[in-house]
């Protein structure tokens, strides 16, 4: 494990202050009493802002909190709802009431907050407290929206938790699987106050040990975790998780290639050609030491038009359609992403997700795109010009779009800005066109369609384009009132097709979740949300390198 990114004197000073000097004498022997096969190591290139699940809004926060906390329900790798702290539940459609029946064998992590006891068992009252925190404006949780569909919740008894919805909302169980809905103990919040963000106490397979921000995070095995594997062996198998914070992706890849990290996630320009062929296969020289996991990722990368903009090009449906037809997305995926991704020629809902359009809506069609551009020129007596705003990470893709659209007669300028500025202007409508991405908060196509509902205009919702169509609003309401899954999926498909006919966005590609994993790691798995779960992971001793014959 590389220590070069942290000054050694500062690291030792922190260690001495925290009473953990034996743990941090060097990065190589951070776990001297544990074999390498008992510690899982990964790098987080983005900084973690909080380990409080009420602030688990992005992957860098969600990944460690997944190891520390549990909720009522959880998702398996196929995105099917499974029991978690609730062993079962029932739903009354007429009253819109869920009743969750909790396990009676789950305790919080041992912590001084419970003194004079070490811990205590979880009850339904803890879920009331945890949901109250999400609703508390003083907490200002970014996850407060997950309860917008909830009219009431209460503890019917110590082991029965009740939720009543305002209206029918079929995706609700999926929302409850989000880390925001984790259970936390009031004792720990009282004990640590605002410092709960760096002293988390949950029920998960690992408990908190150490966090030196932007340097190292250590989690240790929860010896009293309630879940077991199919053979009755207690989870987790690992003794610890160690997370480093190298911000540079190329340095992260070097650490992985040297065996100091157990896996890396995603592809980056700095190493994609080293690892992958142009068709997206793992290069032969890595196959002895590494395996690759990939799966369609619930993420749509797109270009959005801010429709209230009074520029003729933005207002013109024909020109927006021309832009959709004029980009060869298949070539883009091959040359810019080494085959990782599905061309965005269908709709906004990722191709293959239930409810997505099952046929291409915008296949590459140079002649059709060019003809639509010429119609725009004749109607408005001007050559079209667009400006796309992006950050530096996606500059290569925007430059490719620029080249493609100029071929059909659309002049394109690119405005590169810092990510924070891009987010702010996207929320306030200060951009003409913007590069965006939508990663599903929960595994239901409704989550994608919510970006096109008139009640969701930013900054009060996720409708960044300010698209408005009364028919779409009506279909959305009808879908949520339908208890029949097949009927609801047909409505979703009709909505997506109608939205794309008006082309407020240009879907670029539906992403793939990709993981590169060392051969000695078993049970890591992968899922369409690209969330990290380590309770089933095992590590074996490194195999001996085969001698050349």
Q: What is the pLDDT of residue 2?
A: 41
Of the chain, the percentage scoring pLDDT greater than 70 comes to 92
Cα–Cα distance for residue pair 110/35, rounded to 1 Å: 25
Domain with CATH 3.10.105.10 in the chain: 296-511
pLDDT reading at 433 higher than 60: yes
When mean pLDDT is compared across 361-375, 419-433, 488-502, the lowest value belongs to 419-433
- 16 versus 375: the higher-pLDDT residue is 375
Q: Minimal CA–CA distance to 191: which of 131, 112, 130, 120?
A: 112
- The mean pLDDT value for 68-92 works out to 95
Superfamily for domain range 296-511: Dipeptide-binding Protein; Domain 3 (3.10.105.10)
DSSP secondary structure, 420-479, as one string? HHHHHHHHHT--SEEEEEEE-SSSSTHHHHGGG-GGGBTTSSSBTT----HHHHHHHHHH
Give per-residue pLDDT as tens, 189-239: 999 999 999 999 999 999 999 999 999 999 999 999 999 999 999 999 999
What is the average pLDDT score of the chain?
Answer: 91
What is the SS3 assignment for 73? strand
Positive or negative CA dihedral for 363, 368, 372, 377?
positive
The three-point CA angle 142-514-327 to 5° equals 85
pLDDT confidence band for 23 (50 / 70 / 90): very low
Answer for the pair 481, 168: CB distance below 8 angstroms, yes or no. Answer: yes
Q: What is the pLDDT of residue 542?
A: 66
pLDDT confidence band for 37 (50 / 70 / 90): confident
Q: What is the pLDDT of residue 268?
A: 87
Cα–Cα distance for residue pair 394/108, rounded to 1 Å: 42
Q: Minimal CA–CA distance to 175: which of 487, 472, 446, 449?
A: 446
Answer for the pair 342, 296: CB distance below 8 angstroms, yes or no. Answer: yes
pLDDT confidence band for 293 (50 / 70 / 90): very high
Q: How many CB atoms lie within 10 A of CB 426?
A: 20
Lateral strand order in the sheet of 97-102: 86-92, 97-102, 160-165, 150-157
Cα 42 from chain centroid? 17
User: Which long-range contacts link 480-488 to residues 24+ away (Cβ below 8 Å)?
Assistant: 480/167, 480/168, 480/169, 480/170, 480/446, 481/167, 481/168, 482/170, 483/93, 483/168, 483/170, 485/170, 488/170, 488/355
Answer for the pair 342, 351: CB distance below 8 angstroms, yes or no. Answer: yes
Beta-carbon contacts of residue 369 (< 8 Å; ≥ 6 apart) = 322, 323, 324, 325, 326, 408
- 26 secondary structure, DSSP code: -
Cα–Cα distance for residue pair 389/409, rounded to 1 Å: 20
Give per-residue pLDDT as tens, 304-341: 999 999 999 999 999 999 999 999 999 999 999 999 99
Domain with CATH 3.90.76.10 in the chain: 49-196
> Phi, psi at residue 156, to the nearest 5°?
-70, -30
Kindly give the interhelix angle for 317-325 and 366-380, rounded to the nearest 10 degrees.
Answer: 160
Residue in the structure block whose two tokens are 């050559």: 383
pLDDT reading at 79 higher than 70: yes
Q: What is the pLDDT of residue 352?
A: 79
Question: What residues does 211 pair with on adjacent strands?
Answer: 217
Q: In Å, how far are 174, 262, 362, 394, 465 from 322, measured between CA atoms?
A: 37, 45, 9, 22, 18
Answer for the pair 466, 307: CB distance below 8 angstroms, yes or no. Answer: yes
Q: What is the pLDDT of residue 35?
A: 55
- The mean pLDDT value for 261-285 works out to 91
pLDDT reading at 20 higher than 50: no
The hierarchical CATH code for the domain 49-196 is 3.90.76.10
The β-bridge relationship of strands 150-157 and 160-165 is antiparallel
Cα–Cα distance for residue pair 463/73, rounded to 1 Å: 28
pLDDT reading at 258 higher than 60: yes
Cα–Cα distance for residue pair 177/416, rounded to 1 Å: 36
pLDDT confidence band for 22 (50 / 70 / 90): very low
- 546 versus 151: the higher-pLDDT residue is 151
Cα–Cα distance for residue pair 30/27, rounded to 1 Å: 5
Of the chain, the percentage scoring pLDDT greater than 90 comes to 83
The three-point CA angle 198-199-202 to 5° equals 120
Kindly give the interhelix angle for 485-502 and 470-481, rounded to the nearest 10 degrees.
Answer: 170
Q: Minimal CA–CA distance to 264: which of 514, 59, 525, 3?
A: 514
Give the H/E segment covering residue 263.
Answer: strand 263-265
Q: What is the pLDDT of residue 475?
A: 97
The three-point CA angle 149-154-157 to 5° equals 145
- The mean pLDDT value for 515-527 works out to 96
- 479 versus 10: the higher-pLDDT residue is 479
Q: How many CB atoms lie within 10 A of CB 148?
A: 9
pLDDT reading at 133 higher than 70: yes
Answer for the pair 536, 236: CB distance below 8 angstroms, yes or no. Answer: yes
Cα–Cα distance for residue pair 129/464, rounded to 1 Å: 33
Q: In Å, how far are 32, 42, 530 from 29, measured between CA atoms?
A: 5, 16, 30
> Phi, psi at residue 116, to the nearest 5°?
-80, -10
């Amino acid at each position: 494990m590389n220590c070069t990114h942290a000054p050694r004197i500062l690291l030792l000073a922190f260690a001495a202050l925290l009473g953990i000097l034996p743990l941090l004498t060097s990065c190589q022997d951070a776990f001297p009493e544990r074999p390498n096969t008992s510690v899982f190591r990964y790098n987080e290139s983005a900084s973690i802002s909080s380990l409080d699940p009420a602030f688990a809004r992005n992957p860098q926060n969600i990944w460690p909190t997944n190891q520390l906390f549990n909720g009522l329900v959880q998702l398996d790798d196929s995105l099917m709802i499974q029991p978690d702290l609730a062993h079962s539940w029932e739903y009354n459609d007429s009253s819109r009431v869920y009743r969750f029946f909790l396990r009676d064998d789950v305790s919080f992590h041992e912590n001084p907050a419970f003194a004079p006891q070490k811990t205590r068992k979880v009850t339904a009252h803890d879920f009331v407290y945890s949901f109250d925190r999400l609703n508390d404006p003083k907490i200002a949780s970014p996850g407060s929206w997950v309860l917008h569909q909830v009219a009431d919740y209460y503890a019917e008894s110590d082991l029965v938790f009740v939720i009543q919805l305002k209206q029918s909302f079929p995706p609700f169980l999926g929302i409850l699987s989000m880390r925001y809905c984790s259970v936390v103990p009031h004792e720990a919040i009282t004990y640590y106050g605002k410092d709960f963000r760096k002293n988390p106490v949950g029920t998960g397979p690992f408990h908190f040990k150490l966090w030196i921000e932007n340097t190292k995070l250590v989690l240790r095995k929860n010896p009293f975790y309630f879940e077991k594997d199919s053979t009755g062996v207690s989870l987790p198998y690992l003794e610890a998780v160690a997370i480093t914070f190298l911000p540079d992706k190329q340095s992260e890849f070097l650490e992985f290639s040297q065996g100091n990290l157990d896996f890396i996630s995603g592809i980056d320009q700095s190493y994609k050609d080293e690892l992958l062929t142009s068709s997206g296969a793992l290069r032969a020289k890595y196959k002895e030491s590494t395996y690759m996991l990939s799966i369609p990722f619930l993420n749509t990368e797109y270009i959005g038009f801010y429709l209230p903009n009074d520029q003729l090009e933005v207002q013109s449906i024909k020109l927006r359609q021309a832009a959709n037809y004029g980009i060869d997305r298949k070539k883009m995926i091959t040359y810019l992403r080494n085959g990782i991704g599905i061309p965005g020629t269908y709709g906004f809902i990722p191709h293959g997700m239930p409810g997505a359009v099952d046929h291409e809506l915008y296949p590459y069609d140079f002649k059709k795109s060019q003809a639509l551009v010429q119609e725009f020129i004749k109607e408005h007596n001007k050559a079209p010009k667009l400006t796309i705003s992006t950050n530096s990470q996606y500059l290569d893709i925007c430059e490719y779009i620029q080249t493609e659209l100029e071929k059909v007669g659309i002049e394109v300028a690119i405005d590169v800005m810092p990510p924070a500025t891009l987010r702010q202007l996207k929320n306030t409508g200060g951009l003409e066109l913007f590069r965006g991405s939508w990663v599903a908060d929960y595994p239901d196509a409704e989550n994608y369609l919510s970006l096109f509902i008139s009640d969701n205009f930013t900054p009060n919702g996720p409708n960044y384009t300010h698209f408005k169509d009364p028919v779409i609003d009506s279909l959305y309401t009808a879908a949520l009132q339908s208890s029949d899954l097949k009927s609801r999926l047909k409505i979703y498909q009709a909505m997506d097709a109608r939205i794309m006919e008006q082309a407020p966005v240009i879907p670029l590609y539906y992403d793939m979740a990709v993981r590169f994993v060392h051969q000695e790691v078993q049970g890591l798995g992968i899922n369409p949300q690209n969330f990290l779960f380590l309770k089933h992971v095992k590590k074996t001793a490194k195999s001996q390198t085969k001698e050349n014959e």
